[in-house]
Amino acid sequence: MAEVEIVSVPTRILTDKDDIVDIIEKYTKGRITENDVVSVAESVVAITQGRIVRPEDLEISTLAQFCCRFIPDQGSLASPHGMQALMNVEGQWRVAFALFVGFLGKIIGQNGLFYKLGGEQTALIDDVTGTMPPFDKHIVYGPKNPQGVVKCLKERLGCFGAVIADVNDLKRSRIVGATEGINGEKVAQLLIDNPFGNASQKTPIVIIKNFKQYQQV
């Protein structure tokens, strides 16, 4: 049986002028078979969708300044800008309520309520420094309609499947969107060592060769 193999695909810096499906097709031409899964970094999908905002362009509310204080200082929502960016898309009272319930949940030992109740962007937003230049000075949202993007990728490329992944160097690997029939947990495990590389390596596309056979085992 052919072994599963991780192939990182370097690209130029992608911007909101690019179409992510066209770009992936261009850079992976002739390298993908019907056994492979194409994975793409979630922040890059979001950037190509124009889902970025500069801190200078945000009007920071008192509520955002208050709420961000309850997030540990390493988190993307720990700054008033990250928190305001979230409130702008999910609603400020929803976020504040989720934070309050999350706090109560922690008291009784139930973690993660804030991320469950605060809306899907709660876990997806990257604050300043979270993305490579020139987007290091931006807040980057999670991608819009990830299921639609991966479906479109699969149809265009004729691959076994496509995923959008949120992976970092701290061994966090999460699938944000996957085509039907793909075992997201298995893909996440294969991507745990972050083959997308660090910021300067410019490899937002990763091909998982022979994933079809790997998944069937």
Partner 1 sequence: MIDVLNAILATIIACVVVVKIFFWREGNPKVVVCKDKRTPFQLDKLTEDSMSVSTKVEFRNAGMQCATIMDCIVRALLPYEQYDGVKVEAKAEREGAPREDDYFESVLIQKQTSIFIYARVTLTARKGQDIKTALAHMVDLPMDIIYTELGRRPWIMRKVRIELPAAEMAKLAGVELADD
Nearest residue (CB) to partner 1, 61 versus 213 = 61
* CB of residue 37 to partner 1, shortest distance in Å: 32
Rounded to whole angstroms, the Cα distance separating 90 from 191 reads: 29
Which residues would be at the binding site for partner 1 (CB under 8 A)? 55-56, 60, 65, 68-69, 73-74, 78-81, 127-129, 133-134, 136-137
Q: Which is nearer to partner 1, 200 or 216 (CB)?
A: 200
Q: Please spell the DSSP secondary structure of 109-133, one letter per residue.
A: T---HHHHHS-GGGGT-B-TTSS-T
Neighbours of 71 (CB within 10 A): 17
Which residues are 162's β-sheet partners? 38
* Closer CB to partner 1, 109 or 133, in the complex: 133
> Residues 161, 37: contact at Cβ < 8 Å?
yes
Nearest-approach distance from CB 137 to partner 1, in angstroms: 5
What pairs with residue 205 in β-bridges? 9, 40
Q: Name the minimum Å distance from CB 9 to partner 1.
A: 24
Look at residues 32, 41, 37, 128 and name the one whose alpha carbon lies nearest to residue 77: 128
Nearer to partner 1, 26 or 106 (CB): 106
Closest CA to 84 of 113, 42, 131, 127: 127
Considering the complex, what minimum distance in angstroms separates the CB of residue 69 from partner 1?
Answer: 6
Looking at the Cβ atoms of 1 and 170, the one nearer to partner 1 is 170
Cα–Cα distance, 127 to 160 (Å, whole number): 33
Cβ 56 to partner 1 shortest distance, Å: 7
Q: Which two tokens stand for residue 137?
A: 């000075």
